A and B are shown apart, each in its own frame.
Chain A
Amino acid sequence: MRKVQGVGWKALVVALILLVGATAGLGAATFIYADGAAYLQNNPAACANCHVMREQYSGWLAGSHRAAATCNDCHAEHTLVAKYITKARNGFWHSVRFTLDDFHEPIRITARNRRVTEGTCRHCHADVVDQIGHEGMDCIRCHRDVGHMH
């Protein structure tokens, strides 16, 4: 290696190692400080951690599904891989939008998440709804407030 052209590659590697370490440390600290582990679990209170979903959380506390289902039961698929893909996607976009304060209020469900929720409604209520033709209809259109009012 020629040293006259600038910093040697060894110095660069050391810099990279330091930076990766710093990032990992900062990331871990942020994760712990923001109670990131809670998002990997099932406690509905975690969804109101970032203050944006307080209304939905308090609506659920007073709603009929409180006794039967948590946030994840309706808003994430019931198979392990799909569930964590959905959680990762939502976690990422929520972090971006909420950090940049760039989202519509009151919050609105996305088309993809609405499909997920429709699927979980039908999964649990299969005994009843499998007998019904669903063409062009979805459960939440009429049963909007079963999970949370707002």
Chain B
Amino acid sequence: MRTRSWILLAILATALVTALVTILLISVFERKQEARHTSFRVVELTDDTEDPALWGKNFPLQYDAWKRTVDQVRTRYGGSEALPRSPTAADPRMVVAQSKLEEDPRLKIMWAGYAFAKDFREERGHAYMLDDQTFTERQVVVKQPGTCIHCHASTYVTYKRLGNGNLTAGFEALNKMPYAEARKQVTHPVSCIDCHDPATMALRVTRPAFIEGLRALRGGEYDVNKEATRQEMRAFVCGQCHVEYHFKGPEKRLTYPWAKGLKADEILAYYDEAGFSDWTHAETGAKVLKAQHPEFEMWNQGIHARSRVACADCHMPYIRIGAQKVSDHHVRSPLLNVNRACQPCHKWDEAEIRSRAEEIQARFFRERNRAMDALVSLIGDLKAARDKGAGDAALEGARAHQRRAQFMLDFVEAENSTGFHAPGEALRLLATVIDEVRLGQLALRDGAPSPTPPTQ
């Protein structure tokens, strides 16, 4: 080749290298800029700033992700499907999630005589919590108390307003209101201020019921906001709402039943001692209980809690956006986000991890169905005996077993992980359910021995 061609080639090569070095320089520059400022204070956030859009001006990455909780995506056993519906005057929702009552009609038998037998749908993302509670048909069949609003809305500023600065006073004021009135006191679904201190962004518990529940569990004057570690708080802020609860006394005080412990049978023992029941079963006359989404309690029995892995580690895993590290505020099933949620700790490919998780869920689901059949058979037997004229004395023993079986089954059924949060504990409870049904049917056959407390 002639010298001139070589020189031309060299010029081209040098130009190319220069271009690549420039791209590298720009990239390094951008990352350095991103790392320098992790937040921009565009607006002043105070302890009264409720509107998440304002927080979003300072924290756009977190806010954008938080807004994505509108997504409706199915997983193998959970998640929600976006079903179109014709809006009515009473319920303007154009999209709802699938009905769990239609998916499994046995639930209607379990909840006969209770509002849940009328309308119970798969839960949707945080963005929908307030609408889905406002417009559920359960509001039509039963007068719900204001207590319900504590976990379906951003309530921190409302508490302060109603309690003149005192959270607990505001909490008590909301409890006593009828739902419709309480609903007028709130605007947003759970928002930034429900978990974050606006001055430092540190995690903060704002629900008095959780503070009181943890005191009942740990005893003394435990102050979660002063004594919990940062990693504990990454579970506690979720545990403010993803728990079992009841409305205590005529003032309908939201109460977490943890005085005897967090396990289903310990909670049941608490309810037994308090003489509490949610309703009287329409077909059997048993005084029964409804369990509500006890994710926090079940997670506590599992290996992840044991390894100090918090809710946020899997449901809000860290993501890198440029040079910034943020918690993914698009709260969702880890099965939809395996690489961020699982792979930092579990060094397997995504398909293997998903398959391990779904195998745990498949095992659980089979046993859950077995236990559900068992419970329905006990309810059937009790109803038949009652129809034949058996009196309360003859039915008392079997009814007590129904109450126990039903609560423990509902506990793992209402818990949103299809057994994953604590696989061993979930199967232990299902085995207990089946045994309780057996004891209940024996009680019907042989007369009514008084129910024995669990031996564990």
Binding site for B on A (CB under 8 A): 9, 12-13, 15-16, 19-20, 22-23, 26-27, 29-30, 33-34, 50-52, 54-55, 95, 98-99, 104-106, 108, 144, 149-150
Contacts and interface: CB of A to CB of B under 8 A. Distances in A.
B28 A33 contact: yes
B320 A30 contact: no
B18 A105 contact: no
Interface of B: 3-4, 7-8, 10-11, 14-15, 17-18, 21-25, 27-29, 31, 35, 318-320, 322-323, 325, 339-340, 343-345, 347
B22 A26 contact: yes
Q: Which 3 A-B pairs have the closest CB atoms?
A: A51-B323, A19-B14, A30-B25
A57 B347 CA distance: 18
Contact of A34 (B11, B28, B323, B344): B28
A134 B35 CA distance: 43
Given A9-B4, A9-B7, A54-B325, A104 B339 contact: yes
A67 B101 CA distance: 59
B24 A30 contact: yes
A80 to B, nearest CB: 27
Say whether chain B's binding surface is mostly helix, strand, loop, or mixed. helix
Nearest to A98: B27
Nearest to B10: A16
Contacts of A144: 347
A23 B21 contact: yes
Contacts of B23: 99
B320 A150 contact: no
A20 B28 contact: no
B17 A23 contact: yes
Contacts of B29: 33
A76 B298 CA distance: 44
Given A26-B18, A26-B22, A106-B339, A19 B28 contact: no
B320 A51 contact: yes
A99 B23 CA distance: 8
Contacts of B11: 12, 15-16, 19
A150 B344 contact: yes
A32 to B, nearest CB: 11
Contact of B18 (A19, A34, A150): A19
Nearest to A140: B347
Contact of A30 (B28, B323, B339): B28
Contacts of B25: 26, 29-30, 33-34
Nearest to A109: B347
A1 B339 CA distance: 63
A35 B449 CA distance: 80
Nearest to B24: A99
A12 B15 CA distance: 13
Contacts of A51: 31, 35, 320, 322-323, 325
Contacts of B339: 104-106
Contact of B7 (A12, A29, A50, A105): A12
B436 to A, nearest CB: 42
Contacts of B345: 149-150
A27 B18 CA distance: 8
A108 B22 CA distance: 28
A105 B340 contact: yes
24 contacts: A9-B4, A12-B7, A15-B11, A16-B7, A16-B10, A16-B14, A19-B11, A19-B14, A19-B15, A23-B17, A23-B18, A26-B18, A26-B22, A26-B25, A30-B24, A30-B25, A30-B28, A33-B28, A51-B325, A54-B325, A98-B27, A99-B24, A106-B340, A150-B345
Nearest to B8: A12
A31 to B, nearest CB: 9
A13 B14 CA distance: 13
